[in-house]
Chains A and B, each alone.
Chain A
């Protein structure tokens, strides 16, 4: 039976419980310190969610957007943006209610085909547990699931939605020009919606901060080439989140400076981030499971497997030009080149494949793990292409971990660990082969 949407009041109990859960994680971190950047990350997350919760109280408009919306423009309008899938996904995950949120969407009629990473958005809205925004923005980034979840929420809440189009093809001049035209239209729309004149100076300030972050990202990428790897697995997931949620704000810049300094210290001391010595250097392709970052810790701590390159999450090509004097051009440059979007919006032979080969070579990878999210219809399709190419060009093997990014019931952490242990033997044999061929010492 379908839920009667009108009969259910919006209930922010889960949202508040999620913030409380993050606060307890932060308290735990402070009690047992790891790195300063990890603390900053959780502080940053808590502030982000509190701003969303308190938007109305603070007289601000709240805009829920799909992945990789140009949040910079929303900041320049002084509205509060939130990434729909991450926000509602985090509420479901941290309150351990994924099942409830998924079931609500299934009952309404969303079939299994809908990506589990984005499905909670509509489930949360149908349950009236997702925060209700004033406006939604749906961006076509080459992932139907990402763009569509916000549409479902807008329909469930009966609120206006703006569609921002990005062309497929990627890094061509025509794509940039089309995107800039569409950003200009978005700004006009938002001027009407908010009743405010767009603050171009504010946007320039934001772009200038992003320019500094982009430079830091390049420094980090350069330092990560060092053996042993100076970074933990969790590091790249945190950097990815901060840039995606809150690009161009001073807190994000502070976070990236902190990360850079921590890595620099490890590089100067020629040491890894933990005591376990590095044994294998791997590429992490697509996204590791949200439900188990402990898997990443286990790889490092138990087996010395360190992720050294992540094309979808941490690969910032050196040609991203961010110029405060050309803010819209800068946004076009950023959003067509940034990790994840670039891989989705470009043909594989123009982006994911060459970038992955380059990473494998530059970062001396011993193998790759492809996190195949079963309900993702974009990236796992390229498993065979990536696998064949890495073997042919870099002589390294790829492990495919079939899993559901949000649901431990599909593949448990233990099952993935077993597969990884077997894969270590395979990496070892390929390493031997490359040694015999004189390709590595």
Chain B
């Protein structure tokens, strides 16, 4: 991200990104006797964990590719590289600070990660939530029951109670974070945008690792600084990244360094996390079930066509010139939707570059050539227009 003045308010976020997974804020929380519950896949309603007085922390890898020898031995070489990275870190005790681990039954890989974690990693509390694949009324009722069971399980294990008003408070707090993230992303609609895709990725990483009590003032300061800042940006090309998990700012920075700005995403570590709020005027459990099942869908949900339409709408809203369709190697839901999403995007006049990455991988020479060729093609299209 050359030629752009660094944001002062981004400094603590930069530090947190360096420290993932066991960042200072989590250490401080633990030092005060706080308990931490790791969650995997953003169908897990964090609000319930928060309302129990626990710190919800997204389980992820770090911003680099790591050797996966143990994960290959305990899982399988064709298990998605994100899941293997998470297990590898846990196996090497980087997630020993977790007091609990909750997985949403999102995909084949996540479910099996839970099985293997359950067998080999001694996290004291382990739970898997069954998430329906549709948003039909009976599915929402089912998921509401699931969330209630999850709440009870947390209460039993951690010997706490989660009163309804506390849950409503948590919902309001998390909604505030979502609104802040929406404001941040609104700034990306500007031409040129004041913030890069890599910077947003770092903010998202922090958001999912620290308490929302700490995160909200932090992002509000960033928004204030951005409102006053003049930030130079000579790149004209606006890109969207679509895929599953991508929380590696270096990778996004590498793409932007080739001469574009990533102005929006379609990722579980991005838009799908903040796009929809939980209704505050409904009974909390019902509202949570509704929000989590009807939110911006990922590739696991049916029918896929709803998702394709939404991705196209967002791409147009953010006036993107092209889309990078990124696939973490061995991600099954993404693999199956990939050609059809591409078809929808291209039919809407949005050019697509398909990339496969091993989770955590940085930019390579080959990637550079492919991205540069794509950007050149987009530039030519712009000139023609």
Contact = CB atoms under 8 A, between A and B. Distances in A.
Interface of A: 108-111, 113-115, 138, 140, 142-145, 147-149, 151-152, 155, 161, 163, 165, 167-169, 174-175, 178, 181-182, 185, 347-349, 372, 374-375, 377-378, 380-385, 388
Interface of B: 73-76, 78-80, 105, 107-109, 111-116, 118-120, 128, 130-134, 136, 138-139, 142, 145-146, 149, 300, 302-304, 327, 329-333, 335-340, 342, 354, 356
Contacts, number: 138
A348 B74 contact: no
Contacts of B107: 144
Contacts of A111: 327, 335, 338, 356
B138 A152 contact: no
Residue of B333, B336, B338 with most partner-chain A CB within 10 A: B336
A285 B118 CA distance: 21
A89 B221 CA distance: 58
Given A178-B142, A381-B76, A381-B112, 18 more contacts: A109-B339, A110-B335, A110-B336, A111-B335, A138-B302, A142-B108, A148-B336, A149-B336, A151-B302, A152-B336, A161-B303, A163-B134, A169-B105, A181-B138, A347-B111, A381-B109, A384-B75, A385-B115
Contact of A113 (B130, B138, B149, B332): B332
Contacts of B303: 151, 161, 163
A384 B116 CA distance: 9
A144 B108 contact: yes
Contacts of A374: 78
A182 B138 contact: yes
B108 A143 contact: yes
Nearest to A109: B339
B116 A151 contact: no
Contacts of B338: 109-111
A360 B8 CA distance: 63
**Residue of B74, B108, B142 with most partner-chain A CB within 10 A:** B108
Contacts of B73: 384
Given A163-B303, A380-B78, A113 B331 contact: yes
A163 B136 CA distance: 11
Nearest to A151: B304
Contact of B133 (A115, A140, A175, A378): A140
Residue with the greatest number of chain A CB neighbours at <10 A, chosen from B131, B133, B138: B133
B116 A381 contact: yes
A73 B340 CA distance: 30
B138 A163 contact: no
Given A144-B107, A167-B142, A383-B76, A114 B335 contact: yes
Nearest to B331: A113
A144 B335 CA distance: 10
A108 to B, nearest CB: 5
B304 A382 contact: no
A142 B132 CA distance: 11
Contacts of B342: 109
Contacts of A152: 336, 340
Nearest to B84: A381
Contact of B138 (A145, A168, A178): A178
Nearest to B300: A144
A167 B132 contact: yes
Given A163-B133, A384-B116, A377 B138 contact: no
A25 to B, nearest CB: 33
A148 B139 CA distance: 19
Contacts of A161: 303
Nearest to A167: B130
A113 B115 contact: no
A111 to B, nearest CB: 5
A372 B118 CA distance: 21
B347 to A, nearest CB: 13
A9 B302 CA distance: 29
A355 B330 CA distance: 28
B336 A349 contact: no
Of the candidates A113, A142, A372, the one having the most CB atoms from chain B within 10 angstroms of its own CB is A113
Contacts of B142: 167, 174, 178
Contacts of B118: 347-349
B44 to A, nearest CB: 14
B83 to A, nearest CB: 9
B134 A347 contact: no
B339 A165 contact: no
14 contacts: A111-B338, A163-B303, A165-B132, A165-B133, A168-B111, A169-B128, A178-B139, A178-B142, A380-B78, A381-B75, A381-B109, A381-B115, A382-B116, A384-B75
A142 B332 CA distance: 12
Nearest to A143: B108
A35 B200 CA distance: 67
A347 to B, nearest CB: 6
A142 B108 CA distance: 7
Given A113-B330, A144-B108, A380 B340 contact: no
A384 B79 CA distance: 13
Interface centre among B115, B149, B304, B356 (most CB of A within 10 A): B115
B130 A168 contact: yes
Contacts of A375: 78
Nearest to A111: B335
A113 B329 contact: yes
Contacts of A384: 73-75, 116
B336 A377 contact: no
List the 9 closest pairs (A to B, CB-CB), nearest first.
A109-B339, A168-B105, A148-B336, A381-B112, A113-B335, A348-B115, A163-B302, A168-B130, A144-B332
Contact of A110 (B112, B114, B339): B339
A410 B78 CA distance: 14
A169 B127 CA distance: 11
A155 B344 CA distance: 12
Contacts of B340: 152, 155
Given A109-B342, A145-B332, A347 B119 contact: no
A347 B115 contact: yes
A168 B128 contact: yes
A167 B293 CA distance: 13
A383 B73 CA distance: 9
Nearest to B106: A168
A138 B301 CA distance: 12
Given A113-B329, A151-B304, A380-B78, A385 B336 contact: no
Nearest to A144: B332
Contacts of A155: 340
Nearest to B149: A174
Contacts of B302: 138, 140, 151, 163, 165
